A and B are shown apart, each in its own frame.
Chain A
Amino acid sequence: MSAWNAATGGGDRAGGEPAEDVLVEEKQSSSVSLPVMMTPSSASGMSLSMDMPRKRKGSMDNQDSKSTSVNDADMEDDQIRSDEEDQHVKIKCFREPHSQIEKRRRDKMNNLIDKLSAMIPTCNPMSRKLDKLTVLRMAVQHLKSLKGSASSFSEANYKPSFLPDEELKHLVLKAADGFLFVVGCDRGKIVFVSESVTKILNYSRAELIGQSLFDYIHPKDMGKVKEQLSASELYPRERLIDAKTGLQVQADLPVSAARLCSGARRSFFCRMKYNKISVKIEEKESHANTSKKKESQKYCTVHCTGYMRSWPTSQMGAEGEGEADKQDSSHFSCLVAVGRVHSHSSPQVNGEVRVKPTEFVTRYAMDGKFTFVDQRATTILGYLPQELLGTSCYEYFHQDDLPHLADRHRKVLRSKEKIETNCYKFKTKYGSFVTLQSQWFSFVNPWTKEVEYIVSTNTVISHDHSRTSRSGNKSEQSSNSKASEDCKKSLPIIPGISTTPGTMIYAGSIGTQIANELLDFNRLNSSPSSGTVSPFSLPQDKSPQTHNQMSNNVPNGETPDMEMPGKSISEDEPQGAAFSGGEALMGENSQLDLDSVVGPGLSSLSNDEAAISVIMSLLETDTNLGEAVDFEEMHWSL
């Protein structure tokens, strides 16, 4: 296969044709991209890979490398072979007329020429479209001028690299958002650090070189880093995970055997100091407070990856002095690594990342009991988290708000959307009430589709203005009016809940009852596949206690649709095909947001489909498993 490539020159032979996009990759000396999968039998004319091509979902490899071009006189050796193969193709699996193929090739070329003319400054101002030859000639001129200006580029001529290394290096560091550093293993002396460190840690190179790395590492991570630098054993305590069994095995062989670089790899995280930007303010502060006010040092988490190197100290010159006596006589061991700061959440900010000061988050179990309370709640509610944990949220809601919150609770358990509550009062530790407004959504496990818990983002509303609900949930309008009607009644009547006098006595049980409703419903309607209900079978509230003259517990005010379990489709949740339909649905919603980020989500598939898609992705992804996946050994266990 590689011999074939070499013979014909490694030209663009490797383009693929995507199944979904119609874009066809046509190159002069390369193959016809036929829409049909080329099986080995039809490829008899080709001397290429004799492997049975694997059929996989979304396979795009239906291209064979034959040439169809007849116009290109440059590739003579191709020509002969390709003509022969052409015949084969025509006879065996020709689907398109040759003119179509030619047309596509021409279109592709024209497209490229257009792009080229757009990039060349001299072509741009031309009002009329330039012909191919002129564009090409102008391109030649342009390249010549580019090469003239930047001397470094012209030097790249005799080296087989597209970019001068300096530039490449710069790009790499910019992309990786990292800095290169070399530290001696013995004392952690920083022997080298790249310029980019300034942007990341805000220290200049001069400040760092020659210093000990340990001066810049969080005290608690020093032990970790020391361990990583220990070159006493070249491969200390390495463990590999056997991909086939998922178990750990002790590595007898060095991991890096297959790699170009010698030496053990290191990969670890550590917190490194970073220099604060403004110095003046700090000085003022230290003058004002004569007492030793230690400023909290800021750290950022750096992911360091690299490998160990060992050099003869004779080479090191000045750098190696002082190290030599510590090491075994002639070698200087060091770590050569790149440090990268991760984009999401540098943890020096204590979790206040996305939540405003007047907000706090909580988690409820399905029955409304607090299972997680963010520490910010304490300043707002007065309770410590542990005082709330385990208790039902209903114990703190004001009487008047119980009906509408119960309604929301019911809704959120049955919906995939974020549900907003109206403003409601929450009892603080000191007996007073604070006005909150919350956004709830039930977090569903992507695999099992079961509700894990309800996440609530709670905002404090100042007493002056009462906020109208945002338009997140269309059904809210109708329920709003209902809820406010409910509130006007003196006795809170919560539909579905047996009304007994007293408030706190049954407040807690409201949640439990609502949760039980759902469980009962699930039991009644469990789908046969795996005992978990597909979300799509619960479009409406089918609470057995259909009480309802007064309020719509049914989302969106539609009449309950007594349906078959399994795959009933609610009107406002279009599913469509697994992949495309998912998009429309996953608008502004919480976990559904992810689907637009991550791709067609599992939530749009049934359990079986989800399981199958996982299996398929595994079959397709042949990452370093070492040998082909054996189909007999696949075991579908759900």
Chain B
Amino acid sequence: MTADKEKRRAISREAARKRRRVESDVFGDLSHLLPLHPSVQAHLDKPSIIRLTLSYIRMHSLLKESIRTTAESTHMVRYAQVAEGREERSDCDGGQDEEEKETNMYLRILEGFLMVLSTEGDMIFLSDNVSRYMGMTQTELMGHNIFEYTHPCDHEEIRNNLRLTAEEVWCGEKRDFVMRIKSALTHRGRSANLKSATWKVLHCQGRAKMCVSPSSVSYLLLTCRPLPLSHTLLSTHTFTSQHSMDMRFTYCDQRVTSLLGYSPEELLGRSIYELCHTLDTHCLNKNHLNLCLKSQSVSGQYRMLVRGGGYVWVESHSAVIPAVRPSKSRPSVHQPLCILCVTYVLSGVEEPFLQLSLDQTIHRHVS
């Protein structure tokens, strides 16, 4: 009796093993069809294989919509070659190489990575430089859901951004928002374990894209850029300012005078909300909230009132700076929590004789 049972068990175990082998083989076949480096292919686990297959299929249908003619692409490659002034141009394989370099150039210039998101939040595609920013490779992340990697407090906002009506998709509706994502990079730029991941603030910009076949699906195509804390500034047309957490000026650099007419002293204690055009209240409010909740923000374009009349279009990139207390190493430094803004002035003074605010009627322009 027992022997019989044993035998049956052995048979079933053997069958199971055989099934598993067959399954593994199919998984292996699938992984070899993926456009990845063989060494990467060999180390994928089963769920990853499926995930990457899904990404491949989805991206294929997405890209099918936007087919480019060969003529166009070779034309571009040639220009790129010239522009880059490369020495290895004569290589027969140079064509492929050039393309790769050009693409990398795009992403390097943008200082970010590309993300294709489904409306459920699946990260269908990520460009491979994502590892530079998140510390995790493309194959580790692709196919996973973005909600697993982003700060829970930002989920609501992400969800709202993923919501697209048919019309919006048709028009290629734009998206622009800030969110926090996990980064497994150490301070030295190496990849650490996800357990000691920190939050990185990403500025995501992009648009909706539709894909008609096999079924109508829509995606968000985004470039994601970590917001830097150090800026390269040039002297004209930008100014920096510091604010207390309620957005009142606590410091402003001299350049504001030539750009907006105010002396830095005049601005101290004044709220930025007084100094902007009313129609932009919403924009600044959102910026402020982003700052408080996520510690960094990009404002989008808004109008700042110029002293005595008129306004200029500006864009501010801001960050919350942690408080600094006098310490042994820096005994004289004391600074509470504050906001640091770098403001780019985009336009000239518009309507210089138009006084829109009470403040403008009192003061004359100091040029």
Contact = CB atoms under 8 A, between A and B. Distances in A.
A complexed with B: yes
Contact of A165 (B19, B79, B100, B223): B100
A227 B110 contact: no
Nearest to A40: B195
A621 B180 contact: yes
Interface in B91-115: 96, 99-100, 102-103, 105-111, 114
B285 A169 contact: no
B358 A389 contact: yes
A571 B356 CA distance: 39
B29 interface: yes
Contacts of A146: 56-57, 60
A374 B323 CA distance: 39
Given A170-B66, A446-B288, A191 B83 contact: yes
Contacts of B180: 617, 620-621
Contact of B27 (A48, A71, A136): A136
Interface stretch (B3-11, B261-269, B271-279): B271-279
Interface string B292-312: 111110001101000000000
8 contacts: A73-B20, A146-B56, A176-B206, A224-B237, A240-B232, A342-B300, A385-B356, A447-B292
A176 B125 contact: no
A11 B109 contact: no
- With most chain A CB atoms within 10 A of its CB, the pick from B56, B57, B141, B194 is B194
A36 interface: no
Contact of A315 (B72, B87, B176, B361): B87
Given A51-B192, A224-B236, A28 B47 contact: yes
Interface size class, chain B: 35 or more
Contacts of A160: 36-37, 40, 128
Nearest to A602: B292
A363 B289 contact: no
Contact of B195 (A23, A38, A317, A601): A38
B336 A598 contact: no
A15 B148 contact: yes
Nearest to A169: B103
Contacts of B137: 10
Contacts of B60: 146, 150, 153
A224 B296 CA distance: 27
A228 B51 CA distance: 45
Contacts of A626: 187
Interface stretch (A60-68, A403-411, A509-517): A60-68
B15 interface: no
- Among all A-B residue pairs, the 7 with the closest Cβ atoms: A9-B43, A315-B85, A635-B323, A637-B336, A622-B198, A311-B85, A343-B174
A18 B148 contact: yes
Interface in A39-76: 48-49, 51, 53-54, 56, 58, 60-65, 71-75
B292 to A, nearest CB: 5
B162 interface: no
B365 interface: no
Interface string B228-260: 111111111100101001110000010000000
A624 to B, nearest CB: 5
Interface residues of A, number: 208
B83 A192 contact: yes
Interface in A1-46: 1-2, 5, 8-21, 23, 25-30, 38
B264 to A, nearest CB: 14
Interface in A221-276: 223-224, 227-228, 236-241, 243-246, 248, 255, 258-261, 264-269, 271
Interface string B178-221: 00101010010111111111111100011101000010000001
Nearest to B145: A23
B73 interface: yes
Interface string A57-100: 01011111100000111110000000000000000000000000
User: Taking chain B's interface residues, is the majority helix, strand, or loop, or is none over half, making it mixed?
Assistant: mixed
A504 interface: no
Contact of A49 (B85, B187, B193, B282): B193
A577 interface: no
B96 to A, nearest CB: 7
Given A49-B193, A160-B36, A385-B356, 12 more contacts: A20-B155, A133-B19, A171-B221, A176-B223, A239-B231, A343-B174, A447-B245, A595-B289, A614-B293, A623-B296, A634-B323, A637-B337
A329 interface: no
Interface stretch (A346-354, A467-475, A550-558): A346-354
Interface stretch (A281-289, A299-307, A477-485, A492-500): A299-307
A22 B240 CA distance: 44
B149 interface: yes
Interface string B331-360: 001011110101010111011001111111
A216 B32 CA distance: 50
Nearest to A365: B358
A133 B26 contact: yes
A445 interface: yes
A139 B226 CA distance: 36
Interface stretch (A107-115, A412-420, A429-437, A561-569): A107-115
Given A121-B214, A177-B207, A389-B358, A344 B295 contact: no
Contacts of B323: 633-637
A319 B22 CA distance: 59
Given A48-B195, A244-B324, A596-B156, A614 B295 contact: yes
B285 A112 contact: no
A636 B337 CA distance: 7
Contacts of A109: 46-47, 50
Contact of A175 (B198, B221, B226): B221
Contacts of A130: none
Contacts of A26: 47
Contacts of A608: none
